[in-house]
């Protein structure tokens, strides 16, 4: 019996399973830009992480055609949340050392929930919260945009303290949502847009349960809680073609209306302890075309 990929459609939603790593059809025209999307590296000096991350960077740089740019989806270091400053400094020193010595490709960063310093007795420190990571990455703001070869890239800040001020939730907030709306309005209709966030705007991975359930419950820190507002905005701006994320450490691809939402697994897999369910440690490899289309695949680098 020939086995076929399982595809489930719910209205405008198409779910593609993480085991399908295949490329989309080859086009006649050449891509204008090739990008590697790495996310959830969780780098620390343990579990063989430095050597494996170096191997990932080398794997990316050996691609043919060559990769022009790396998008880093956050959770750059292992964990800053409740750590003391000496442990945080060591993680970032290791990061800068490896990237400087082993990577020659320009990299653009998004901040993840593990890149934020939330140690309660350090609240008075000048680098408390997101300021430490912003300083390390030399970013004036946790959200920003840039253009490259006819495409616009919008990097979002999706991690914010919840209403109880103790843990995080996935959202943009009114100020950033207004900024995003202005960015899309100023962009015009002819330049295609790729959006990068750490927490997925929309993902199917949260429906994967070990036990049979008759009701799914999603935590506010696992997917954007303002997903309806963002999708409503994107519906008004079909030049938004692709949204990339990480955070879940699982690979999925969701097509909804005019946008494709891809959660690209994790470089660290299950935090440097093998696979996370069916998703092996890897990165996204994408080719962008002048007409706003793209091809993509998920690339394991340890095999």
pLDDT digits (tens, 9 = 90+) for 245-285: 999 999 999 999 999 999 999 999 999 999 999 999 999 99
Given a contact cutoff of 8 angstroms between Cβ atoms, the answer to whether 45 and 54 are in contact is no
Q: What is the pTM of this model?
A: 0.90
Sequence spans of domains, the chain = 31-206+216-300
pLDDT at position 20, please?
Answer: 39
Q: What are the DSSP calls for the chain, one per residue?
A: -------EEETTEEEE-TT--PPPPP-SSPPSEEEEEE----B-SSTTHHHHHHHHHHHHHT-SSPP-EEEE-S--BS--TT--HHHHHHHHHHHHHHHHHH--S-EEE---GGGSB--GGGTTSTTTBTHHHHHHHT-SSSSEEEEETTEEEEE---EEE-TTSSSEEE---HHHHHHHHHHHHHH-SSS-EEEE-SS-SS-SGGG--SS--SS----TTTS-TTHHHHHHHHHT-TTEEEEEE-SSS-EEEEEETTEEEEEE--TTTTTTSS-BTTBPSEEEEEEE-TTS-EEEEEEES--
Residue 191's pLDDT band (boundaries 50, 70, 90)?
very high
pLDDT digits (tens, 9 = 90+) for 78-117: 999 888 899 999 999 999 999 999 999 999 999 999 999 8
Residue 206's pLDDT band (boundaries 50, 70, 90)?
very high
Q: Phi and psi (nearest 5°) for 70? A: -110, 130
Given a contact cutoff of 8 angstroms between Cβ atoms, the answer to whether 110 and 155 are in contact is yes
Q: How far apart are CA 7 and CA 255, in angstroms?
A: 11
Residue 125's pLDDT band (boundaries 50, 70, 90)?
confident
Give the distance, in angstroms, between the CA of residue 163 and the centroid of all CA atoms in the same chain.
Answer: 24
Residue 144's pLDDT band (boundaries 50, 70, 90)?
very high
Give the distance, in angstroms, between the CA of residue 66 and the centroid of all CA atoms in the same chain.
Answer: 21
The percent of residues in the chain predicted with pLDDT above 70, rounded, is 90
On the question of pLDDT at 48 being above 50, the answer is yes
Q: How far apart are CA 160 and CA 17, in angstroms?
A: 29
Given a contact cutoff of 8 angstroms between Cβ atoms, the answer to whether 298 and 282 are in contact is yes
pLDDT digits (tens, 9 = 90+) for 55-65: 999 999 999 99
pLDDT at position 8, please?
Answer: 34
Given this structure, which CATH class describes domain 31-206+216-300?
Answer: alpha beta
């Amino acid at each position: 019996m020939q086995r076929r990929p399982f595809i489930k459609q719910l209205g405008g939603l198409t779910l593609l399973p993480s085991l399908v790593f295949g490329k989309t059809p080859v086009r006649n025209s050449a891509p204008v830009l090739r990008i590697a999307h790495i996310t959830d590296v969780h780098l620390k000096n343990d579990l063989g992480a430095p050597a494996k991350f170096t191997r990932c960077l080398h794997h990316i740089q050996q691609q043919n055609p060559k990769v022009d740019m790396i998008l880093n989806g956050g959770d750059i270091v292992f964990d800053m949340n409740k750590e003391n400053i000496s442990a945080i400094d060591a993680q970032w020193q290791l990061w800068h050392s490896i990237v400087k010595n082993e990577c020659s490709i320009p990299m653009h960063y998004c901040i993840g929930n593990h890149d934020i310093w939330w140690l309660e007795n350090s609240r008075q420190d000048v680098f408390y919260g997101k300021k430490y990571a912003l300083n390390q990455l030399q970013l004036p703001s946790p959200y920003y945009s840039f253009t490259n070869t006819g495409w616009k890239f919008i990097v979002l800040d999706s991690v914010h303290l919840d209403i109880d001020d103790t843990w995080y939730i996935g959202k943009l907030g009114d100020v950033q949502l207004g900024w995003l709306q202005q960015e899309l309005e100023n962009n015009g209709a002819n330049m295609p847009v790729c959006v990068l966030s750490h927490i997925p705007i929309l993902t199917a991975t949260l429906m994967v349960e070990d036990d049979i359930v008759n009701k799914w419950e999603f935590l506010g820190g696992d997917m954007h809680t303002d997903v309806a507002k963002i999708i409503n905005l994107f519906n008004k701006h079909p030049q938004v073609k692709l949204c990339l994320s990480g955070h879940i450490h699982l690979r999925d691809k969701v097509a909804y209306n005019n946008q494709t939402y891809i959660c690209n697994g994790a470089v660290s897999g299950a935090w440097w302890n093998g696979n996370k369910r069916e998703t092996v440690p890897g990165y996204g490899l994408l080719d962008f075309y002048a007409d706003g289309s793209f091809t993509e695949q998920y690339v394991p680098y340890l095999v």
